[in-house]
Amino acid sequence: METADLKKQYKEELRQLQIELIRLQKWIQDQHLRLAIIFEGRDTAGKGGAIYRFTRYLNPRAMRVVALPKPTEVEKGQWYFQRYIKELPNPGEIVFFDRSWYNRAVVEPVMGFCTKEQYELFLKQAPVFEQMLLEDGIILIKFWFSINITEQKVRIEDRINNPLKVWKLSTVDLKAQQMWDEFTWYKNQMFLQTHRPDNPWVIVKGNDKPVARMEAMRYVLARMDYPEKSQARVSFEPNPEIINIFDPSMI
C-alpha cells in the first residue's frame, strides 16, 4: 500500500476511534461514572501526543487533563497521595493523568527526588490506595508507554534541535539515555509491586507513535460496554503486538 493510502487509512481509523470516545464519554456522563486513565512511560515515549488524540474532540466540560508540577513546600509535607486525590474524577467525568502518583515509583528514585524510605512506603501504599479507588467505583486504567533506547535517542535529539519542541525538554529527558538501566530496574519493580489482575499495567509499545495512540484508544473502548458500541465502524480488538498486559515473565 502506498504511503498516501496508509496515511488516509490511519486518519479514517483514528477518526472512527475518536467518534467512539465521544460516545463513551456521553455514556459516562449519563451514568455518572468516574474514569481515570494514567499515562506513564519512558521519556519521549508519546504520552502527551496520545492524550492529545484521546481528548481532541471530547466535551471539555466532562473531562480534564492533569499534569501536576513539582510539589510545593506545603505539598512536600503532606501525605504523598493527597494532592492527587483532589484531581480524581467527579461523577460523569474522565480524567487523564499525564504522569501520576507513579512519579515516586520510577522518576523520583532514579533522579534522587525522594528518599529510600519514601520510595518503599509508596510501593507498600499504592496498591492499597488504588484498591480503595476501585472499591469506591472509580474505573482505573494504567498505561505504560514503552520505547527502545535507539528511538528515544532520536526523539531527544529532535527536541534539542527543534525550536517548536524544545519546551518539552526536561532535566529528566537529558539523563534518560545515560540512566536507561536505572529506569528499567525501577520500572520493573513498579510492575512487580503494583500490578494486580483486577488493576493491571497495560504496556503500550510506543516506537510507532500513531499506531500506539490508536491501540491505546482501542484498549479503553474494549474495556467499556457503552450502549452504542454495537454501531461502531471500527475494531475493538487491540493489536497484541502493541498492547500487552504485564506478566512477570516479561522481566
Q: Are 37 and 96 in contact (CB under 8 A)?
A: yes
> Considering the domain boundaries, does residue 81 fall inside one?
yes
- Residue ranges of alpha helices (H) inside the chain are 3-31, 47-55, 73-76, 82-85, 107-111, 116-135, 149-161, 171-176, 180-194, 209-223
Quote the number of domains for the chain. 1
Prediction pTM value? 0.95
pLDDT at 150: 95
What SS3 state is found at 145? strand
Domain with 67 in it: 20-245
pLDDT at 103: 97
Distance CA 148, CA 146 (A): 7
> Considering the domain boundaries, does residue 176 fall inside one?
yes
What SS3 state is found at 140? strand
| pLDDT at residue 242 is higher than 60 | yes
pLDDT at 54: 98
pLDDT in tens, 7-59: 888 999 999 999 999 999 999 999 999 999 999 999 999 999 999 999 999 99
Q: What is the mean pLDDT of residues 234-238?
A: 94
More confidently predicted of 1 and 96: 96
Could you give the percent of the chain with pLDDT greater than 70? 99
pLDDT in tens, 75-127: 999 999 999 999 999 999 999 999 999 999 999 999 999 999 999 999 999 99
> Considering the domain boundaries, does residue 240 fall inside one?
yes
> Considering the domain boundaries, does residue 94 fall inside one?
yes
pLDDT at 1: 56
Backbone conformation region of residue 44, classed left if phi is above 0, alpha if psi is from -120 to 50, else beta: left
Q: What is the mean pLDDT of residues 163-186?
A: 89
pLDDT at 2: 58
Backbone conformation region of residue 88, classed left if phi is above 0, alpha if psi is from -120 to 50, else beta: beta
The CATH number of whichever domain residue 215 belongs to comes to: 3.40.50.300
What secondary structure letter does DSSP report for 72? P
> Considering the domain boundaries, does residue 250 fall inside one?
no
pLDDT in tens, 19-30: 999 999 999 999
* Range with the poorest average pLDDT among 8-12, 195-199, 210-214, 222-226: 8-12
> Considering the domain boundaries, does residue 42 fall inside one?
yes
pLDDT at 76: 95
> Considering the domain boundaries, does residue 10 fall inside one?
no
> Considering the domain boundaries, does residue 209 fall inside one?
yes
Q: Are 223 and 141 in contact (CB under 8 A)?
A: yes
Neighbouring C-beta atoms of residue 223, cutoff 10 Å? 14
